């Protein structure tokens, strides 16, 4: 019998592991090329794992509810069916960190797969780590219990060094008892992206933005306020092209098109769907894009091209009446992000967080002047 391995696919550039949500086929099922075998969550979205050839799904299958490094074998497609019974009982030696982030909504389809569970790893003697990794952890003050294992489920030096690079860790033993909840892939991605911005020298500048006219325009046209804000932001960027640049050690990368990334609140995380070429394309077209993006967002089906490549960001918390103003963090890859608070008396606080390596205070002031002018006359451009 010929067995071809199925591997955890690489679903995005930044993806190092995928969260196997569930199997849609059972061992022994006949599958055709292109059939969806399983669902996996990358750092940003849920994606389908497809069959790449005709045959029969064959175990051992990786357990749902586990994080699995990309490229790791999660099951097989064979050219003949086999007794599905016992094979699935043996779990393959797949390095996996258990996670429960999906348990409540995604019950494991496998009766044989033990439900993943959280456990505290208080006693570091029980953790599989190389002698050198232990020594390093001791010297660098890294608690091995907080280090995710590397390939083959063993902590080695690279993982300890990576943990140490993340900065000092809280001393958990000093406080009350605790247990770990592993990060979901999305949560880990957000954490990594935010940690990546610590070296950005940032300044903030605020203004009251007139919103009543924009709100009227949005209502009249049946569009979302956020969409029109994004459009206004994009138009402002075209007048101040430095805001479309990004700092690199080799120089400023000046981008030729304005893509607005819009921070979106989703269950269990944060995503930034992108409106491409938002300055030049007409508002109705952008509105249609935004509708599609929101739909994908709801179904957790955002693809990398949907959330990557923003050149400027918008974060609108205006729907929370309690928010007066806030300061967002400039994501890596952009020079600025606009944070918009709740409206009061027809105006909302807008705060522009900027990378000072790219733009300066007066640039930001002029930027806000242009934005204010656009918001005062939405009829001209929306």
Least distance CB 237 / other proteins (angstroms): 40
Q: Are 62 and 208 in contact (CB under 8 A)?
A: no
Q: Which of residues 155-184 bind other proteins (CB under 8 A)?
A: 156-157
The reply on whether position 71 binds other proteins by CB under 8 A is: yes
- Judged by CB under 8 A, the number of residues near other proteins is 15
Residues in a beta bridge with 208: 349
The reply on whether position 201 binds other proteins by CB under 8 A is: no
Long-range contacts of 121-124 (CB under 8 A, 24+ apart): 121/145, 121/180
Structure tokens at 281: 């394309």
CB atoms under 10 Å from CB of 312, counted, come to 27
Least distance CB 74 / other proteins (angstroms): 13
Given 53, 86, 90, 152, the residue binding other proteins (CB under 8 A) = 152
- Binding to other proteins by CB under 8 A, coded x per residue (else -) over 217-256, reads ----------------------------------------
The reply on whether position 141 binds other proteins by CB under 8 A is: no
Please list, in sequence order, all residues whose beta carbon lies within 8 angstroms of the beta carbon of residue 75, skipping any fewer than 6 positions away. 5, 6, 23, 27, 37, 38, 57, 58, 59, 60, 61, 62
Q: Give the binding range for other proteins (CB under 8 A) out of 65-73, 185-193, 270-278, 364-372.
A: 65-73
Q: Which of residues 95-134 bind other proteins (CB under 8 A)?
A: 95, 130-134
- CA 16 vs. chain centroid, Å, equals 13
Q: Give the binding range for other proteins (CB under 8 A) out of 79-87, 106-114, 152-160, 310-318.
A: 152-160
Q: Give the binding range for other proteins (CB under 8 A) out of 149-157, 186-194, 329-337, 365-373.
A: 149-157
What letter would DSSP give residue 155? B
**Positive or negative, the Cα torsion across 360, 363, 368, 371?**
negative
Given 34, 85, 135, 141, the residue binding other proteins (CB under 8 A) = 135
Q: Between 133 and 337, whose beta carbon lies closer to other proteins?
A: 133
Q: Between 28 and 69, whose beta carbon lies closer to other proteins?
A: 69
Please list, in sequence order, all residues whose beta carbon lies within 8 angstroms of the beta carbon of residue 9, skipping any fewer than 6 positions away. 18, 40, 47, 49, 70
- What stretches of 29-103 adopt beta strand conformation (E)? 30-31, 36-41, 46-50, 55-58, 66-69, 73-78, 97-98
Q: Between 132 and 178, whose beta carbon lies closer to other proteins?
A: 132
Given 17, 72, 244, 259, the residue binding other proteins (CB under 8 A) = 72
Structure tokens at 166: 């993340």
| CB half-sphere exposure, 281, CA atoms < 13 A | 18
Bridge-based pairing of strands 73-78 and 3-7 is antiparallel
Residues in a beta bridge with 349: 208
> Which residues carry out catalysis?
356
Q: Between 135 and 170, whose beta carbon lies closer to other proteins?
A: 135
Least distance CB 134 / other proteins (angstroms): 7
Least distance CB 154 / other proteins (angstroms): 8
Q: Which of residues 2-31 bind other proteins (CB under 8 A)?
A: 5
Q: Between 149 and 350, whose beta carbon lies closer to other proteins?
A: 149
Q: Which residues bind other proteins (CB under 8 A)?
A: 5, 69, 71-72, 95, 130-135, 151-152, 156-157
């Amino acid at each position: 019998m010929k067995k071809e391995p199925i591997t955890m696919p690489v679903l995005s550039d930044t993806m190092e592991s995928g969260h196997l949500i569930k199997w849609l086929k059972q061992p022994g099922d006949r599958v055709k090329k292109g059939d969806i075998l399983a669902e996996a969550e990358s750092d940003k979205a849920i994606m389908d794992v497809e069959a790449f050839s005709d045959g029969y799904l064959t175990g051992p299958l990786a357990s749902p509810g586990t994080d699995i490094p990309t490229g790791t074998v999660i099951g097989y497609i064979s050219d003949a069916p086999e007794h599905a019974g016992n094979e699935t009982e043996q779990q393959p030696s797949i390095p996996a960190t258990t996670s429960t982030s999906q348990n409540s909504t995604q019950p494991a389809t496998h009766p044989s797969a033990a439900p993943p569970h959280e456990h505290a790893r208080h006693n570091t003697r029980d953790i599989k780590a190389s002698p050198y990794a232990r020594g390093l952890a001791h010297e660098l003050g890294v608690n091995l219990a907080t280090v995710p294992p590397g390939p083959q489920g063993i902590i080695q030096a690279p993982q300890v060094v990576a943990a140490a690079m993340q900065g000092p860790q809280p001393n958990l033993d000093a406080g009350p008892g605790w247990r770990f909840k592993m990060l979901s892939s999305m949560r880990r991605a957000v954490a990594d992206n935010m940690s990546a911005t610590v070296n950005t020298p940032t300044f903030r500048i605020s203004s009251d933005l007139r919103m009543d006219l924009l709100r009227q325009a949005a209502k009249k046209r049946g569009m979302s306020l956020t969409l029109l804000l994004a459009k206004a932001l994009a138009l402002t960027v075209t007048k101040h092209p430095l805001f479309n640049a990004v700092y690199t050690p080799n120089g400023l990368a000046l981008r030729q098109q304005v893509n607005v990334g819009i921070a979106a609140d989703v269950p269990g995380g944060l995503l930034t769907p992108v409106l491409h070429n938002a300055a030049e394309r007409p508002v109705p077209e952008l509105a249609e894009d935004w509708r599609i993006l929101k739909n994908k967002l709801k179904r957790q089906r955002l693809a990398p091209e949907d959330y990557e490549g923003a050149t400027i960001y918008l974060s609108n918390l205006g729907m929370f009446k309690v928010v007066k103003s806030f300061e967002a963090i400039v994501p890596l890859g952009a020079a600025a992000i606009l944070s918009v608070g709740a409206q009061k008396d027809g105006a909302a606080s807008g705060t522009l967080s900027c990378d000072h390596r790219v733009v300066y205070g007066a640039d930001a002031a002029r930027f806000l002047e242009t934005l204010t002018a656009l918001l005062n006359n939405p009829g001209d451009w929306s």
